[in-house]
């Protein structure tokens, strides 16, 4: 996990070249800022397709979104 609170970004990508042995997810988030009437938090996750697929990623992002809604 990495936090970059001083960076505003739309896309962040980390390529770990280790011939498929690194299977841990890489989660990164940046600075949250107001955008119109919303607060926007950049959040990215890179994960090897042998470990998870779109279903798992959508569950992660939906759960993060629900957690944010309950805290607001």
Specify whether 56 is catalytic: no
- For the record, the structure tokens of 34 come out as 């107001």
Residue owning tokens 């990215």: 44
47: burial class by Cβ within 10 Å (0-12, 13-18, 19+)?
middle
Q: Which one is catalytic: 11, 15, 49, 56?
A: 49
Catalytic residue numbers, as ranges? 49
């Amino acid at each position: 996990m990495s936090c970059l609170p001083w960076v505003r970004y739309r896309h962040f990508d980390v390529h770990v070249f280790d011939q498929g042995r690194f299977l841990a997810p890489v989660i990164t988030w940046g600075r949250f800022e107001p955008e119109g009437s919303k607060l926007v938090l950049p959040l990215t996750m890179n994960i090897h397709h042998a470990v998870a697929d779109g279903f798992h990623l959508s569950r992660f992002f939906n759960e993060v979104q629900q957690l944010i809604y309950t805290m607001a």
